[in-house]
Structure 1
Amino acid sequence: MTAKKRVLMIVGDFVEDYEAMVPYQMLVMLEHDVVTVCPGKAAGDTVMTAIHDFEGHQTYTEKPGHRFAITGDFASIVPADFDALIIPGGRAPEYLRLDEKVLAMVRHFAETNKPIAAVCHGPQLLVAAGVLENRQCSSYPAVAPEITAAGGTYMQPGPGLDTAHVEGNLVTAPAWPAHPAWIREFHRLLIS
């Protein structure tokens, strides 16, 4: 058995379904305490998810997903009470990055060198928080220009979008096909 850690997951409406649901379930299975939060929402609320798929088009397709449960009160969350941060992708990071409290939470984890996992469009929060300068980061390829503009080094994923990149306390991946590698590496940081 591993030491139980408290993990904060920041989500919003139209977070990518697999990138919220699956990591949440995997981390709970590994006996970690995962608290999900969303600006303007409290425990017992939900967010709507979107399912993004790769079907041979020039970009991913989007379909309605499930409701995803919020388990913590965003307004009262204290980042110092958590051991790590996880940021799923989807469309939510696009507008979550406009919330200064969200960005302050991200900065807390970066400045205290606590493990951070971000996938797909999740690194948009890292960019907006200003924590990627001189850092290596993977993401969905469409986020690469933002990472580079923020002074980071974009780490090109393999053709299957199933790889994870680790640099210090940061574990990043391009999309949900990388879950096995991404969560494995994040879990290693959690228990180290």
Structure 2
Amino acid sequence: MAKKIATVITDMFEDVEYTDPVKAFKDAGHEIVTIEKEKGKQVTGKQNDETITIDQGIDDVKPDDFDALFIPGGFSPDQLRADDRFVKFAKKFMDDKKPVLAICHGPQLLITAKSLEGRKATGFKSIQVDMEYAGANLVDQEVAVCQNQLVTSRQPDDIPAFNRESLNVLK
């Protein structure tokens, strides 16, 4: 069954950590909705390979409108977590046990949402200590799946495993 996936993203996202999973999700029939501060804004990846036009502003959406949350990596999650609206948005998915798919630096948003305690998870090497301090049961492997809900990966090399496990959770 097709799922509607909220994708929180802003400038300096890791291009391939957005494009590859989105292609896999769309190929499986899922709908992607990009969310930033304002609808229609253009955001650019840190490799300058991808520019996306934002579908919805954060004030115009509710977590209840979506089946899952996708958080690509790069510098995007660190910028988004400075905005309480994005933190609350992400926290609601975790609290409601809806699928949350976070790669590389994506878990930074979940750290700020105080949603990793007791959860098996992984992330980019530079945020692993932060994840441990946030109470995550940290594993250093290409993909971690917790309670068939939270899917996390460390880096672009892990994308094939991330996509595979994300699609399993979305079934």
The interval holding the TM-score normalised by the smaller chain is over 0.9
Q: 1:99 aligns with which of 48, 61, 83?
A: 83
Q: 2:4 aligns with which of 3, 6, 25?
A: 6
Residue matched to 2:154: 174
TM alignment of 1:146-161, pairs within 5 A: 146-157=130-141
In structure 1, C-alpha distance between the alignment counterparts of 2:162 and 2:65, rounded to whole Å = 23
Structure 1 range deviating more: 106-115 or 178-187: 178-187
Task: Tell me whether 1:185 sits opposite 2:165 in the alignment.
Answer: yes
> Which letter maps to 1:22?
D
Structure 1 vs Structure 2: percent identity of aligned residues?
31
Shift of residue 72 of structure 1? 2.1
Matched residues, number: 170
> Which letter maps to 2:166?
F
Secondary structure at the residue paired with 2:123? Answer: coil
**Would the aligned equivalents of 1:37 and 1:70 in 2 still touch at CA under 8 Å?**
yes
**Would the aligned equivalents of 1:21 and 1:68 in 2 still touch at CA under 8 Å?**
no
**Would the aligned equivalents of 2:58 and 2:86 in 1 still touch at CA under 8 Å?**
no
Residue matched to 1:86: 70
Q: 2:99 aligns with which of 96, 108, 115?
A: 115
TM alignment of 1:47-58, pairs within 5 A: 47-51=43-47
**Would the aligned equivalents of 2:13 and 2:75 in 1 still touch at CA under 8 Å?**
yes
Provide, for residues 20-40 of structure 1, a one-character-per-residue CA deviation record: whole Å limited to 9, x for no partner.
12211221111101101112x
| Structure 2, unpaired ranges of 5+ | none
In structure 2, C-alpha distance between the alignment counterparts of 1:90 and 1:65, rounded to whole Å = 13
In structure 2, C-alpha distance between the alignment counterparts of 1:69 and 1:17, rounded to whole Å = 14
Shift of residue 142 of structure 1? 0.6
Residue matched to 2:113: 129
**Would the aligned equivalents of 1:109 and 1:116 in 2 still touch at CA under 8 Å?**
yes
Task: Tell me whether 1:46 sits opposite 2:42 in the alignment.
Answer: yes
Shift of residue 65 of structure 1? 2.9
> Which letter maps to 1:172?
T
In structure 2, C-alpha distance between the alignment counterparts of 1:154 and 1:112, rounded to whole Å = 22
* TM-score, L = length of structure 1: 0.85
**Would the aligned equivalents of 1:13 and 1:49 in 2 still touch at CA under 8 Å?**
yes
In structure 2, C-alpha distance between the alignment counterparts of 1:88 and 1:155, rounded to whole Å = 19
